[in-house]
Amino acid sequence: MTNNLNTWHNAPVRGLGDTAVDGLLSGTVAGLAMAATLAIAGLIAGESLTLILSRFSTKNAEVSLLASVLGHLAVSAIYGTIFGLIWHQLSKHVSRLGTVVIGIVYSLLLFAAATLVVLPSVQSPMLDIPVQFGLAHLVYGLTLGALFARSQR
């Protein structure tokens, strides 16, 4: 008889497909938390909700605000899935706190890639608010890591 338990926390080992779906859903939730962080920071700064949401698009795009936000959530879900696949390989070797830390480090890597490569290439208005954008990425990583850590015992 084979042992179908994760030796770190004695939880049943989840398959790669289940972990990918967990990442998809957790990435979406973390993306909502990220968007909420940006919205709260903008409202505190006295910005309109329309201005805040318009930053999810590019400067020259004629895209609706709803499409921009849904695009953000789709990207968040994809990055969550990628995190889930990475976590699937590491989960046997890290604690719950380690999972949260990995989520934060992952989000900081995404922030670096976004600010250095992706956003400049599409002239994103997110570049106008680097501190808020960085904070929102920290919230994304913290949320993503915490959602994955919750499944660890």
pLDDT single digits (tens) 39-78:
999 999 999 988 888 888 776 666 677 888 898 999 999 9
CA angle at residue 130 from 149 to 62, to 5 degrees?
100
Q: Give, to the nearest 10 degrees, the angle between helix 65-90 and helix 96-113.
A: 130
Phi, psi of 6, deg, nearest 5: -75, 120
> Considering the entire predicted model, what is its pTM?
0.85
Nearest to 129 by CA among 39, 31, 68, 67: 39
Q: Is the pLDDT of residue 9 over 60?
A: no
